[in-house]
Structure 1
Amino acid sequence: MTVGPIALDAMGGDFAPLEVVKGAVRASRDFGIDVVLVGDESVLKAQLAGLGEKESERIRIRHAPEVVLMTDAPSVVIRGKRRSSIRVASNLVKRGEASGVVSAGNTGATMVAARFEFGLAQGVERPAIAQVFPNRKHGTVVLDLGANVDCKVGYLVQFGVMGSIYASIVFQKRRPKVGLLSIGSEDTKGNEFSRNVLRAMRDEPAINFVGNVEGRDVFKGDVDVVVCDGFVGNIVLKITEGVATMVVGMVQDALSSEVLSKAGAALVRPSFRRFKKQMDYAEYGGAILLGVNGVCVICHGGSKARAIRNALKRAHEFAVSGIVQQITEKIEASRTAS
């Protein structure tokens, strides 16, 4: 499937615009992806020049004079900064001038811009943020990671459908296993809401539902998709990031301590580098906002060039896969069946 360029919010993120522009250049060079850099035109031209690059067919610039700050309210993209880089980038997707949008800027503003410009995919009640968590096998898709702190039963069922489609693309599995995050694997565990969701998900033919799963199951690799509301999901995400940082730091300290000889440390360092790479969010690029009528990848605010490069690759892959159309078809089939 032939797709257009990916619109990149070049002004969003802690290390924008330099690291964002670097990531765009690398994605274009390494993967042949066309990118539209959205932001202050004079600034972006200077950044490209500093990297020995210039505007071309592969990397174009679309001027956007305003920037949404991390401290801004998400609604500012509608009520205030209508010419902000994330709003303009999202509008390019709406107009068919780009096949997806990537941003490392204000997460709330990115979601609002995408939903305002794209709208929801047909039949979808609420969008959800999904991301691949590392495990000992291939990875686990977890959603929602913060788009919806209060949910209805039907929302989580749809999250299961959308997460299943996402997992089938990234893991190349025909029928990914879907679990519901709870405090125990037994059907009787959880509160009244989670038990109602459990029953509804068992009745959903569009997913390969395996029942309740616990927090530790996210990292075992026995289930492909874990569904939860955005309040719980965001806590899971932040705890995971914190633990990963701590573990990597502890291993680094151990390798540099006097306990290990230099020869012993040299032997284990290649394995540690592989482990560190597996735990690094930059490898996965970013999270995808599922359920909107377009491809939207949300990066960590601290993303540098490698993360941006990989996020652009993911956005391009999702556009090629027709993920929005797949979600629309599955949701419509589910609604018809019920």
Structure 2
Amino acid sequence: MKIAVDAMGGDNAPQVVLAGVQRARDEFSELEFTLYGDEAQLTPLIKDMTRLTIVHTTEKINGDDEPVKAVRRKKQASMVLAAQAVKNQTADAVFSLGSTGALLAAGLFIVGRIPGIDRPGLMPTLPTTDGHGFVMLDVGANAEGKPQQLVNYAVMGDFYARDLRGLRQPRVALLNNGTEPNKGDSLHQETYQLLSQLEGLNFIGNIESDKLLQGVADVVVTDGFTGNAALKATEGTAKTILKLVKSAIMDSGFKGKLGGLLLKDGIKNIASTFDVSSYGGAVLLGLKAPVIKAHGGADADAVYYTIRQIREMLANDTVGKVQAYFAATKGHTSVDK
């Protein structure tokens, strides 16, 4: 399994990238990595070059670059070269902590879409109170969506949940402003009808945003604008609650700190529940190969878990299954998988 790594992307690159890569390399003997970045910065951070190859480049895509222009103009950027390796079939997957928009552009223009997929969707794994988590797409690859695109997201999310979450019949839900079939705008109403008729899909209906973290669905489908808003609201709320709990303990004098000490294990469990680093990165589903985006501020552990996620996708041939499905249905998503 050959993974192309944008070693220069992210807030703490290349240190955390190489630390996570080397941990994964040491654990999984089948993994090989090509690291794209400044050799002068990368080499001192590597203790053992086993199954690691450096492709030197000093050009990188910055967070303030316009994504499409940057991908087209910075031909020697670490992210662009990593994506090009997948296109040329010298790598099986590409991984970056860099600009989300640029990675989306590189995925679309360089790696390419699966035939039958109009628009790929960005899919992270989010936490639930029962600790199992769920996947949601799209969370920002496309500001708008059409009913058939959301159906495609449901199919791809279902494949992913089966392969990487080990679920035999993932519960698929449509994010909406009510649970009734006639709720929402025309996009959501039409999508509801299509999902209801799709064979082989365990569609459980609409889900409202207040139920997202309660573990009632395994795959949540939505348009990119709504998904991104829900994602940011969920992440922001979780961080705010944890911050408030910490402040309440530290600002309440001796009794508050004593109470915090007694509740230490419970607070750690809450923090662990909402720490999504162990789930890996966000997958750009709908492309011809795994393209994975980890958070720009990710640490070495998050990099390691993202590589584990890529390994599982490759081992299960998740992208290949999606390609075969859409090739068989020829755009008519009604065949039992």
Q: Which residue of 1 aligns with 2:118?
A: 125
Q: Which of 211, 215, 236 does residue 217 from structure 1 map onto? A: 211
Q: Does 1:69 align with 2:62?
A: yes
1:246 aligns with 2:243: no
Shift of 1:306: 1.4
Query: Which of the residues 44, 51, 63 maps onto 1:46?
Result: 44
Equivalent runs, 1:311-330 vs 2, <5 Å: 311-330=306-325
Per the TM alignment, residue 182 of structure 1 is displaced from its structure 2 partner at its CA by: 0.5
Cα distance in 2 for partners of 1:165, 1:259 equals: 52
Secondary structure of residue in 2 paired with 1:75: helix
Find the aligned partners of 1:173 and 1:125 in 2 and give their Cα distance.
26
Name the counterpart of 1:273. 268
Q: Within 5 A, what are the aligned runs for 1:189-200?
A: 189-200=183-194
Match status 1:28 vs 2:25: yes
> How many angstroms apart in 1 are the aligned matches of 2:333 and 2:228?
32
Give the conservation status (yes or no) of the 8 Å contact 2:8–2:14: yes
The answer to whether the aligner puts 1:19 opposite 2:16 as a matched pair is yes
Aligned to 2:2: 5
Superposed displacement of residue 260, structure 1: 4.0
Instruction: Name the CA distance, whole Å, in 2 between partners of 1:179 and 1:274.
Output: 27
Q: Is the 8 A contact 1:133 1:218 kept in 2?
A: no
In the TM superposition, what are the counterparts of 1:163-242 in structure 2 within 5 Å? 163-242=157-236
Q: Tell me, which stretches of 5 or more residues in structure 1 are unaligned?
A: none
Distance apart, 1:225 and its partner CA: 0.8
- Name stretches of at least 5 consecutive residues in structure 2 with no aligned partner: none
Measured at CA, do residues 205 and 96 of structure 1 come closer, stay the same or move farther in structure 2, by a change above 3 Å? Answer: same
Residue pair 1:131, 1:141 contacting (<8 A) in 2 also: yes
* Cα separation, partners in 2 of 1:91 and 1:201, compared to 1, 3 Å: same
Percent of aligned pairs with the same amino acid: 35
Q: AA paired with 1:34?
A: E
**TM-score, normalised with respect to structure 2:** 0.92
Which residue pairs with 2:152 in the alignment? 158
CA deviations 1:186-205 (Å, max 9, x no partner) are 01211122111111111221
The CA deviation at 1:118 is 1.6
Residues 161 and 330, structure 1, Cα contact 8 Å, conserved in 2 = no
One-letter code aligned to 1:43: Q
Q: 1:18 to 1:199 in 2, by over 3 A?
A: same
Cα distance, 1:31 vs. partner? 4.1
TM-score, scaled to structure 1: 0.92
Which residue pairs with 2:83 in the alignment? 90
Deviation at 1:337, TM superposition (A): 6.2
Bigger shift: residues 251-260 or 163-172: 251-260
Aligned partners of 1:217, 1:177: CA distance in 2, in Å? 14
CA distance in 2, matches of 1:149, 1:66: 29
What is the Cα deviation at residue 240 of structure 1? 1.1
How large is the RMSD of aligned CA atoms in angstroms? 1.8
CA contact (8 A) 2:138 2:227 kept: yes
For residue 179 of structure 1, give the secondary structure of its aligned residue in structure 2: strand
Residue 326 of structure 2 contacts residue 333 of structure 2 at CA under 8 Å; is this kept in 1?
A: no
Do 1:159 and 1:227's aligned partners in 2 also have CA atoms closer than 8 Å? yes
- Please say if residues 142 and 233 of structure 1, whose CA atoms lie closer than 8 Å, have aligned partners that are also in contact: yes
